[in-house]
Structure 1
């Protein structure tokens, strides 16, 4: 199998722990990942963090 064809982009709902106003909260977010189809492992893609940092304070979210 072609190595490049073994990967595809996926979206995944993830629960993260975040400190908000001094309290730890569990928040569900959608992240973008790269799925390695031969193993089923989803690797987080850095673009998710970029989108969060760029748009978090503009009323947009992941």
Structure 2
């Protein structure tokens, strides 16, 4: 059985991965600052995450 944990405590090994949730959120927001996009919605789940992004074409058009 494949055991991949992104953001939860592994009951079998006792390892805690909950700190990754905050890390993922902070890095997503850093990417928004660096690129012409915005986060419309996101969900960080125990073994993966989903993002819905909005591409800001008006901001992109202003860049050289």
- TM-score normalized with structure 2 length: 0.29
Q: Which has the higher strand share?
A: 1
Larger Rg belongs to: 2
- TM-score normalized with structure 1 length: 0.30
